[in-house]
A and B are shown apart, each in its own frame.
Chain A
Amino acid sequence: MPTVRLSFSPAPAHVRTARLVAVAVARRAGVADELLEEIRLAIGEACSRAVALHRSQGTDSLIDMAMNNGDRFTVRVTDRVSDSPATTDPAAFLGEAPAAAEVPESLAEEAVAARMGLTLLAGLVDDLQVNTLADGLGTEVSMSWPVTRKPTDA
């Protein structure tokens, strides 16, 4: 069972809330302070990606963020969009050299942002997995970070 779970409608304003919640839970879970900034950014990117997917499909269904503290602090962000394009899979960016140092002229701003978001996710999170949900109706971005301090809650 997740320790803390947050569901939110695909509104950009809620992404900030999700970041704040995730960092607060990570801190309590005993994640080292120097990782919190990375977590803030990674969670923001995972949630922004989900929001963009939901909005591109015109769905109002809720995005789910589930956090678990155990041996590691784990966050799963789940969207409910089937057939998300392959270009939205951060795993596709794993191990890839950084994008060419040129302004991608052909891409719209949103596409640039989406690509940069995936590059950031892949670059920031050592333990990153993206899986299609069992029912095929969505994807789950799973990330985890080491816990190095004693948790401050029960």
Chain B
Amino acid sequence: MELSLSTRTVDDHTVLEVGGEVDVYTAPRLRERLVELVEAGARSVIVDLSRVEFLDSTGLGVLVGALKRLRAAGGTLALVCGHERLLKIFRITALDRVFALYDSVEAATAATGADAGQSA
């Protein structure tokens, strides 16, 4: 399935819902959207990966890039990732210790304050 991206606002948070496959072919579009959001002033970004069917290292690279960009701008990035299939990828690469990972958008918004980038 192709990549799908949609953005919504929940309180002060910008939620980017990602669906489909994030790989070497589609990841540049995800990067572009995340850069746009930060440039447009978003500082609390939640990337919802619940509907992602496939995620590879290129997608991880883009998420790491977004985390760096947001931190440099004084912002935070949280990821919503419920299924084991994706969590395994974060564990193998030790990125589960780098990203703030949540089960749901609600959990992410509840936990995301000024220190969301470091906690969880």
Contacts and interface: CB of A to CB of B under 8 A. Distances in A.
Nearest to A110: B61
Interface residues of B, number: 25
A140 interface: no
Contact of B57 (A12, A100, A101, A113): A113
Given A101-B97, A101-B98, A113 B92 contact: no
A120 B94 contact: no
Contacts of A45: 56-57
Nearest to B54: A40
B23 interface: yes
Given A100-B94, A116-B57, A124-B92, A51 B24 contact: yes
Nearest to A38: B88
B25 A16 contact: yes
B61 A120 contact: no
Q: State the main secondary structure of chain B at its contact with A.
A: helix
Interface in A51-79: 51-52
B89 interface: yes
Nearest to A98: B94
B93 A44 contact: no
Contacts of A37: 85
A123 B60 CA distance: 15
Interface in B1-44: 21, 23-25, 31
Contacts of A52: 24
A103 B68 contact: yes
A116 B60 CA distance: 8
B60 A48 contact: no
Interface centre among B58, B67, B89 (most CB of A within 10 A): B58
A15 B56 CA distance: 11
Contact of A48 (B23, B92, B94, B97): B23
B58 A98 contact: no
9 contacts: A15-B25, A16-B23, A48-B58, A98-B93, A98-B94, A113-B60, A116-B95, A120-B93, A123-B92
